[in-house]
């Protein structure tokens, strides 16, 4: 047998295999798209907007499900390990955090590490917390939260602040480009377009809330602290970060006094959490009720079909409640 002649086709085959492997690197789906798993809607929205037709995005939290309490099925846990990229927000969903730690997936994007997190309670006074550059005192450098801001009570609702959400978008865009360098230019273009829309949304909030007669609004749970800080508002929440916690009698008494002293006109409730306490408080004080959506998921009850439409609905609800002209 002529060994030299036999090596020629074997070498050709090896080269062909290597070429095929390179052409599909970073895209393990049957259709060649990058398989992305997102923990809940705000992360899913970013992946879809930035990835476009080059990604196949699966959301772990189904519409209408409260994301804080999500429990994964064995099938979801298994499929998580087949992802090319996972986009999540560490600390919001413990079951997801545990599954990701065991998944073995190399490309994981923690949104909490891409911006700053802070400890928020039932009251957030944006006028006192916000510094001159519209960032808060817990910040070391962009994308590098100080240790005290990552404690057990760290507020995860960063997506409700368009500026922080834009920071997360930029990080997600870089992660997709790293996992799928063949489409880097597209990811960069889509990220830039999304950040531009978020900048415009930030301007809409700034302009829309300028001429208001009140700064204080009441919500069922403390989801809007970052939004309050960004625009100099005061959020007073019936519950804390956990939407299912029950308010104390002392807290309810405080809210009664505060609503009268601050001229509060509206008590806001949400689409995915119980509105019982909010309606009770509003009834006791003769106040209006309205929806302020934390955008943890989009359902038929949402005031829009996506993040931007619902955020504009939130802006209009706040303008009405705060007497903005």
Residues 264 and 178 in one domain: no
Residues 180 and 214 in one domain: no
Residues 46 and 193 in one domain: yes
Q: Give the whole-angstrom CA distance, residue 271 versus residue 178.
A: 36
Over residues 262-300, the pLDDT tens digits come to 889 898 988 766 677 778 888 888 888 999 999 999 999
Tell me which of 185, 203, 221 is where a domain ends: 203
Structure tokens at 91: 């600390």
**Measured between alpha carbons, how far is residue 203 from residues 88, 158, 230 in Å?**
27, 17, 11
Residue 97 lies in a domain: yes
Over residues 82-103, the pLDDT tens digits come to 999 999 999 999 999 999 999 9
Residues 217 and 189 in one domain: no
Calculate mean pLDDT across residues 14-32.
47
Percentages helix, strand, coil for the chain (3-state, rounded to 5) are: 50, 15, 35
Q: Give the whole-angstrom CA distance, residue 72 versus residue 39.
A: 10
**Measured between alpha carbons, how far is residue 152 from residues 65, 118, 119, 123, 156 in Å?**
23, 10, 8, 17, 11
Residues 216 and 183 in one domain: no
Cα first-last separation, the chain: 91
Residues 188 and 293 in one domain: no
164 φ, ψ (degrees, to nearest 5)? -65, -40
Over residues 135-151, the pLDDT tens digits come to 333 333 323 333 333 33
How many residues can be counted in the chain? Answer: 325
- The reported pLDDT for the residue numbered 239 is 72
- The reported pLDDT for the residue numbered 123 is 77
- The reported pLDDT for the residue numbered 120 is 86
Residues 49 and 92 in one domain: yes
| 302 Cβ contact partners less than 8 Å away, ≥ 6 residues apart | 271, 293, 295, 310
pTM above 0.95, yes or no: no
288 φ, ψ (degrees, to nearest 5)? -80, 160
Percent of the chain scoring above 70 in pLDDT = 79
Q: Give the whole-angstrom CA distance, residue 35 versus residue 28.
A: 7
Residue 17 lies in a domain: no
Which of left, alpha, beta for 55 (phi over 0: left; psi -120 to 50: alpha)? beta
Residues 297 and 237 in one domain: yes
**Range of 289's domain?**
208-322
| 8 Cβ contact partners less than 8 Å away, ≥ 6 residues apart | none
Tell me which of 164, 183, 203 is where a domain ends: 203
Calculate mean pLDDT across residues 147-171.
81
Q: Give the whole-angstrom CA distance, residue 112 versus residue 87.
A: 11
Cα–Cα nearest to 85, from 117, 54, 41, 113: 54
Residue 235 lies in a domain: yes
The number of beta carbons lying within 10 Å of the beta carbon of residue 70 is 18
Count of structural domains, the chain: 2
Can you give the C-alpha Rg of the chain in angstroms? 23
Residues 311 and 267 in one domain: yes
Over residues 94-130, the pLDDT tens digits come to 999 999 999 999 999 999 999 999 988 787 887 765 4
- The reported pLDDT for the residue numbered 64 is 85
CATH code of 171's domain: 3.40.50.1980
Whether the per-residue pLDDT at 196 is higher than 90: the answer is yes
Tell me which of 154, 171, 203 is where a domain ends: 203
Whether the per-residue pLDDT at 204 is higher than 70: the answer is yes
Q: Predicted confidence band at 177 (pLDDT cuts at 50, 70, 90)?
A: very high
Residues 101 and 220 in one domain: no
Structure tokens at 9: 């086709």
């Amino acid at each position: 047998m002529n060994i030299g002649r036999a090596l020629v086709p074997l070498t050709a085959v090896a080269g062909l295999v290597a070429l095929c492997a390179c052409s599909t690197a970073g895209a393990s789906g049957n259709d060649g798209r990058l398989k992305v798993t997102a923990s809940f809607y705000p992360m899913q929205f970013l992946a879809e907007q930035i990835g476009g037709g080059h990604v196949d995005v699966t959301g772990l939290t189904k519409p209408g499900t409260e994301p804080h309490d999500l429990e994964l099925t064995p099938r979801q846990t298994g499929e998580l390990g087949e992802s090319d990229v996972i986009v999540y927000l560490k600390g919001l969903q413990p079951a997801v955090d545990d599954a990701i730690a065991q998944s073995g997936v190399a490309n994981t994007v923690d949104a909490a590490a891409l911006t700053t997190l802070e400890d928020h309670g039932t009251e957030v006074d944006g006028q006192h917390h916000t510094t001159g550059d519209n960032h808060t005192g817990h910040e070391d450098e962009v994308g590098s939260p100080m240790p005290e801001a990552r404690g057990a009570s760290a507020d995860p609702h960063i997506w409700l602040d368009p500026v922080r959400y834009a920071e997360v978008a930029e990080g997600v865009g870089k992660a997709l480009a790293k996992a799928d360098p063949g489409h880097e230019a597209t990811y960069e273009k889509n990220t830039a377009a999304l950040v531009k829309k978020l900048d415009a949304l930030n301007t809409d909030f700034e302009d829309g809330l300028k001429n208001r007669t009140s700064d204080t609004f009441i919500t069922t749970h403390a989801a809007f602290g970052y939004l309050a800080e960004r625009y100099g508002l005061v959020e007073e929440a019936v519950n804390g970060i956990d939407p299912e916690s029950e308010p104390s009698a002392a807290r309810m008494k405080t809210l009664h006094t505060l609503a009268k002293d601050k001229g509060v006109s509206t008590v806001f409730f949400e689409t995915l959490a119980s509105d019982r306490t909010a309606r009770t408080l509003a009834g006791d004080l003769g106040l209006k009720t309205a929806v302020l959506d934390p955008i943890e998921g989009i359902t038929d009850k949402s005031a829009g079909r996506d993040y931007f439409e619902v955020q504009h609905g939130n802006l209009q609800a706040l303008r009405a409640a705060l007497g903005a002209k």
